[in-house]
A = this chain, B = another copy of it.
Amino acid sequence: MSTVQSVDRALDVLEALADQGGEAGLSEIAARTGLPYGTIHRLLQALLSRGYVRQESDRRYALGGALVRLGGAAERMVGVWAQPHLEKMVALSGETANLAVLEGDFVVYVAQAASPRRLRMFAEVGRRVLPHSTAVGKVLLADRVDAGDILRRTGLPRRTEHTITSVEAMLVELETVRAQGYGMDFGEEELGVHCLAVPVRDGSRVIASMSISGPVERMEALDREELARAMRSIAADFGADVSPPR
């Protein structure tokens, strides 16, 4: 497969910048990418002149505003690709399926396929919620080493009588999620609504989470382990789809 050296390297630079939290000095980028200084500097100038990178007053570099636009457009696309997979989950379970990602410290719902039932979950696309009270949030946090920090920053406000409200208890819960490969929400965000969420992986990193949500009675009638297995397989397809093996 053909590749263009300078483009490839420019992407390395941008990713290095993102890895450092969106801001880094030239030499930090050099350390991370292993590219020679001159080369990095030239690439940065190119990105700079287009607004994809920005130079701070202390001469450090940061990700630029132009990326926001592309990122937004791409996010909409991701929602579109997810659709068929979400529909498969609906077919499988009869319940509404959602795709969510972690944005900053919040869970954001990106796409949805609605259940055909009369009683069903409402459209949540665009909604931001805290991670601690949802199945998708737990799955997304379970992969993060800084889950504790996030939880301490956001707090764990009580949403219902079932909400887990202590950081310690939540860290234990995340351990369970990691072990079983899926996350549950037993009416912790909204009374009477249960959810089951599985991770979407880009290689090994968790980049998103897919879930189904429905009323307690119907959710409890489903075979959880069996369902989780099927959903993991769909999520894996989607993951491979979004970020194909190099």
Contacts and interface: CB of A to CB of B under 8 A. Distances in A.
Given A4-B42, A8-B46, A63-B70, 6 more contacts: A7-B7, A54-B244, A64-B77, A71-B75, A105-B126, A128-B128
Number of copies: 2
A54 B242 contact: yes
Given A6-B6, A46-B3, A126-B128, A67 B68 contact: no
A32 to B, nearest CB: 15
25 contacts: A1-B48, A3-B45, A4-B10, A4-B42, A7-B43, A11-B47, A15-B70, A18-B70, A18-B73, A22-B76, A23-B77, A49-B246, A51-B202, A51-B243, A54-B81, A65-B207, A65-B243, A68-B71, A68-B74, A69-B71, A70-B71, A71-B74, A71-B75, A72-B103, A127-B128
A204 interface: no
Given A4-B10, A14-B70, A42-B4, A77 B101 contact: no
Contacts of A156: none
A101 B49 contact: no
B65 A202 contact: yes
A141 interface: no
Interface residues of A, number: 60
Contact of A63 (B51, B74, B127, B246): B74
A76 B137 CA distance: 20
A126 B104 contact: yes
A87 to B, nearest CB: 16
A162 interface: no
Interface string A1-44: 11111111011001101100111000000000000000000110
A45 B2 contact: yes
Nearest to A3: B46
A202 B243 CA distance: 31
Nearest to A55: B244
Nearest to A71: B71
Contact of A7 (B6, B15, B18, B54): B6
**Residue in A7, A22, A64, A128 with the greatest tally of chain B CB atoms within 10 Å:** A7
